[in-house]
Structure 1
Amino acid sequence: MALPLVLASASPARLTTLRAAGVEPTVVVSDVDEPALVERAEHEFGDLGAEDVALLLARAKCEAVAATLGEEDVHPGLVLGCDSVLELDDEVHGKPADAAEAIARWQRMRGRSGVLHTGHWLIDDRDDGTGATIGAVASTTVHFADLDDAEIEAYVGTGEPLRVAGAFTIDGLGGAYVRGIEGDHHNVVGLSLPLLRELLADVGVAWRDLRG
């Protein structure tokens, strides 16, 4: 029987990635106010790098869900939180606020490269587990196609860029606009399977133990 894994994310792409790898998690979505959390952290610690933001948000989501598992009537197990941001020109970009922002983002991205950072946070909440709470960030360089304004507006008009970090996907409509990547493909989708396997190993769990 597979060990239970709780995915603290509303992302369909992350769920699909795990399912394709033979893992069937329970999805519990957190109510973390991401902008407010980042604002508080920057007020306390100063400007945060892209990797810091990704890990901060992944940890917050994971901890928020782990704290409510009893209320959700979900059996304690392994809890995974993830969050992705795009780094471009040393700036951090999450989901665009609206279509205008998505268009402006793509006008900056086209023909260039950015780095997609995904924070992963794992809590071992099993009754007989380690109690560990650990995290890491996976980073993948993404090379974008040089789109004209009409192509950008058409893509943004589909609504997809408004739902994802960085305003693009590699596994959906945006796949045609990614010329190539350097690093883990799954990380660009939103969850690095190799990194997750390493985090699980750190708490004494083999990857095969998650497969039913």
Structure 2
Amino acid sequence: MTRLVLASRSPARLATLRSAGVDPLVRVSGVDEDAVVAAYGVDDPADVALLLARAKAEAVASVLVADGVDGEGVDGGTGVLVVGCDSVLDLDGLPFGKPGTAEVARERWRAMRGRTGVLRTGHWLVDLRDPDDGGSGASVGELASTVVRFADLADDEVDAYVATGEPLEVAGAFTIDGLGGAFVEGVDGDPHAVVGIGLPTLRRLVGQAGLPWHALWAAAGPAGTRD
């Protein structure tokens, strides 16, 4: 039985996978995002998102291999697939990640309100399964791009939203599955990718590793999907 390992601490990504019948193990990568971007000198939003997704997946995969679980699996499994993700808001061709501070979040929303941006979500999958158990050795990635139409917020709405703290630690300073959902007029593309992990995108990557998507349902089990 193959187990998916999510290289992210994001509760939204975890909840999305669980709602789709997949109960992943969580291993936080600890990747210094700013350092990685600076080391590679990238500034295109799509490139940043895919680069960071790969860095996170490969960092966790390296730890798992060092711990000797690549062929033996974890928690009774027979192998693992590691997925890393990263989201970046593309506004006028510039990358916007997590604001970090209230001041930056407020500036972002005043620039975004009433406009359209593109949420670029990078996905990277590393197959650590033993070849004797069907492992492909794949290390593959794909970008999901979703157009996001923002409401034209008044200043007091921006201030109230920023005061909640929610937009400070999420890519692009907004959510669609939280308090920020009322401030997004609509999306064109995969809404799961806006939450942080695109299920159709991940399904394609799992398929490239030679595994059908529904095989991960079996790994979850009934209890794993409805915690």
CA contact (8 A) 2:43 2:94 kept: no
Q: Which runs of 5+ in 1 are unaligned?
A: none
- Report the equivalent of 2:221: none
Cα distance in 2, alignment partners of residues 84 and 145 from structure 1 = 20
In structure 2, relative to structure 1, the CA distance for the partners of 1:180 and 1:72 (3 Å cut) is farther
- Supply the AA of the counterpart residue of 1:93: F
- Report the equivalent of 2:62: 67
- Supply the AA of the counterpart residue of 1:71: D
- Supply the AA of the counterpart residue of 2:9: A
Cα distance in 2, alignment partners of residues 171 and 71 from structure 1 = 35
CA contact (8 A) 1:169 1:189 kept: yes
Task: Give the Å deviation of 1:3.
Answer: 2.0
Between the aligned residues of both structures, percent identity stands at 59
Provide, for residues 28-53 of structure 1, a one-character-per-residue CA deviation record: whole Å limited to 9, x for no partner. Answer: 001111001101111xxxx4311100
Cα distance in 1, alignment partners of residues 157 and 166 from structure 2 = 14
Task: Give the Å deviation of 1:72.
Answer: 8.9
Alignment length (residue pairs):
207
Q: How does 1:102-117 map to 2 (within 5 A)?
A: 102-117=105-120
Q: How does 1:14-53 map to 2 (within 5 A)?
A: 14-42=13-41, 47-53=42-48
Q: How does 1:143-182 map to 2 (within 5 A)?
A: 143-182=149-188
Detail structure 1 runs of 4+ shifted over 3 Å in the superposition.
Answer: 70-74
TM-score normalized with structure 2 length: 0.88
In structure 2, relative to structure 1, the CA distance for the partners of 1:131 and 1:143 (3 Å cut) is same
In structure 2, relative to structure 1, the CA distance for the partners of 1:95 and 1:72 (3 Å cut) is farther
Q: Which runs of 5+ in 2 are unaligned?
A: 219-227
In structure 2, relative to structure 1, the CA distance for the partners of 1:176 and 1:54 (3 Å cut) is same
Cα distance in 2, alignment partners of residues 37 and 191 from structure 1 = 21
- Report the equivalent of 2:88: 85
Task: Give the Å deviation of 1:174.
Answer: 0.3
Provide, for residues 122-148 of structure 1, a one-character-per-residue CA deviation record: whole Å limited to 9, x for no partner. Answer: 001012301110001000000000001
TM-score normalized with structure 1 length: 0.95
CA contact (8 A) 1:77 1:127 kept: no
Partner of 1:95: helix, strand, or coil? coil
